[in-house]
Amino acid sequence: MHDKPVADALIRYYEMARSSGTSIFYEDSYRAPNGERRYSKSRLTPMYDDTGKCSHVVSVVNDVTQEKLAKHAREEALKRLEESNAKYRSLFESNGDAVLTLTLQGKLNGGNQRARLLVKWPLSELAGADFSVLIEAEDVGRAQLMFEEAIDGIYNDHRLHLTSKEGDTIACVMKLIPIIVQHEVTGFYLMAKDMTELDLLVSKYLESERNFRVMAENVYDVIVLMNRQKQYLYVSPSSTEIFGIPPEEVESQQPFFNVHPEDLPHVDEQFQLAVQEARPYSLQLRIDHQHRGWIWTEMNGTPVYDQEGAFSHMVMIVRDISVQKKHEQQLEYYAFHDVLTGLPNRRYFQEYSSAKLAERAQEESSIALAVLDLDDFKKINDKYGHEAGDKVLKLFAQRLSSLERAEFMPARMGGDEFVVLLESAKTPYEAKRAVEQIHRALAGDWEIGEEWVAVDFSIGFAVASASGETVSSIFKQADKAMYKQKGLEQSDIEILQP
């Protein structure tokens, strides 16, 4: 016996199957004998006698517990990703180094909080100006050379001086980093690391080793002094935190003993070039922490010379950037995934499907994709609110995601439009079967809040020979087929039986 609300719902479902003359689906949950919560999905199919009268309804129940648990796990993962995305958006502003953004013509068009504080200039006043307006006059020529190198794909560190609005000169290590969108460089980040304190630190060391040690012991980053033979002359106490090793143990080790083997050649090369060319260097490398394993660090090295111009030692500042690296990886994820649904986005789909198209071209085979669009989605937003609309999009994406293991690659193109690459379909018949499978996965009412909402959608597909086709042209064919379907009645849509 069921409770009355459950019994009423079941009666309603059976009546819907009988009256509609088609199969319907509904989901339910129950407690197993061991107390575990289980989830099921039922399909109700009306059966008819020789007179065409519904004689009984057949119910087929499938256990979808694992799918439900996976769905909850994805929702939790998406929530964590959204939280991480919010944290990463603040990374640009809270970066300890000044970051300015430039166009391909070298014009200023933005910057972070550190940049505004460093140059003491509202960046809105500098918008559209050449970045050289912030460079000390004597360094403008070398700054232009740095920009020309970046245009040619060469990104080196340069010692230059910034000039603030108040006329102050700030010694910096600068580097241009390309801004890449869809494999094209659209501008540059101008990274400027204020070297004022480090320069002061080095000068203090030359004046008095004792004073240098006092300051170094109060700096969180690890400060390492190394001679030409790469012997450790000094290691600051912060190595215990950053490396997991006390400074006295570091000093007795072989040079760069804790650097990852893959990074070691680059470290040696930069060290030698800095000595030979009398220039600083900056690089990222992995360090073996005694307790945390491999961690990402940033090393900034500056060669120091005596009064006769002979190399004396290298001052290296090593900083833990593990958190920054983690955020960079998350940013790469966000570049290829839709924030709301977690599905691959338009950019990812374009690159992935283009690769598949090229692969099929070599096989002299075809490629197929389907375009889906929610019908009257605006009405859902208007009636239930945008929060409910977002939930519909998430649920729609989750149902599409459940098809991934069956060689479907779904993506959100924007708004309420989705696309699915039918990876296993190479013929119109196979594509039609795949579309029918998508229909089954998305069929049924949707639970929004405390209500069941009927969500309809249209779908069109296209199968095209890889020869002479592009992903865009195949997409347009599928999109056209979808809009053609929007003009048909639900009963007119041909669906293959499983």
Question: How high is the pLDDT of residue 384?
Answer: 79
* pLDDT given for residue 82 in this prediction: 64
Which tens digit of pLDDT belongs to each residue from 261-311? 999 999 999 999 999 999 999 999 999 988 888 989 899 999 999 888 889
Residue whose C-alpha is closest to residue 471's, from 396, 399, 413: 413
For residue 465, what pLDDT is reported? 67
In this structure, whether the domain defined by 338-492 belongs to CATH 3.30.70.270 is answered with yes
* Beta-carbon-side half-sphere exposure of residue 45 (alpha carbons within 13 Å): 7
Query: Per-residue pLDDT for 206 more than 70?
Result: no
Per residue in 147-181, pLDDT (tens digit) is 999 999 999 999 999 999 888 899 999 999 898 87
Is residue 390 annotated as a catalytic residue, yes or no? no
- Residues 300 and 284: their CA atoms lie apart, in Å, by 9
Question: What average pLDDT does the segment 5-14 reach?
Answer: 76
Q: In what order do the strands lie in the sheet with 184-194?
A: 108-111, 98-102, 184-194, 169-181, 158-163
Is the pLDDT confidence value at 230 over 50?
yes
Inter-axis angle of helices 471-486 and 346-363, to 10 degrees? 110
Rounded to an integer, the average pLDDT of 251-255 is 88
Beta bridge partners of 177: 189
Confidence of residue 188 (pLDDT cuts 50, 70, 90): very high
Superfamily (CATH H level) for 95-194:
PAS domain (3.30.450.20)
Answer whether 95-194 and 209-323 agree in fold: yes
Report the distance separating Cα 255 and Cα 119, nearest Å: 38
**CB 433: neighbour CB atoms within 10 A?**
15
* Interval 445-463 mean pLDDT: 80
What is the dotted CATH code of the domain comprising 4-63? 3.30.450.20
Residue 12 pLDDT: 83
List, for residues 468-498, the tens digit of each pLDDT value: 788 888 898 898 888 888 775 433 434 333 2
Which of these CATH numbers, 3.30.450.20, 3.40.50.2300, 3.30.300.30, 3.40.710.10, describes 209-323? Answer: 3.30.450.20
The domain locations on the chain are: 4-63, 95-194, 209-323, 338-492
Q: pLDDT at position 370, please?
A: 92
138 and 125 Cβ atoms separated by less than 8 Å: no
Q: Tell whether pTM > 0.75.
A: no
Side-chain-facing half-sphere of 298: CA atoms under 13 Å: 13
Residues paired with 296 in a beta bridge: 286
- What is the percentage of the chain residues whose pLDDT exceeds 90? 22
pLDDT, position 86: 55
Mean pLDDT of the chain: 82
How far apart are the C-alpha atoms of 237 and 213, rounded to whole Å?
Answer: 10
Q: Which of 139, 263, 416, 479 is catalytic?
A: 416
Write out pLDDT tens, residues 20-54. 878 888 777 777 778 788 877 888 788 888 777 87
- Scan for tokens 């013509």, then name that residue: 105
pLDDT tens figures, 369-412: 999 988 888 888 888 788 888 888 888 888 888 877 667 889 99
The DSSP call for residue 137 is G
> Which band of pLDDT confidence, cut at 50, 70 and 90, is reported for residue 137?
very high
Range with top average pLDDT, 58-72, 294-308, 320-334, 432-446: 294-308
What pLDDT does 70 receive? Answer: 72
pLDDT at 268: 92
Count other Cβ atoms within 10 Å, centred on residue 366: 22
In the chain, the percentage of residues whose pLDDT exceeds 70 is 89
> pLDDT (tens digit, 9 = 90+) per residue, 112-130?
888 888 888 888 888 899 9
Tokens 């999905």 belong to residue: 41
**What pLDDT is stored for residue 456 in this prediction?**
84
**pLDDT computed for residue 497 by the predictor:** 30
More confident residue, 87 or 320: 320
**pLDDT of 269:** 93
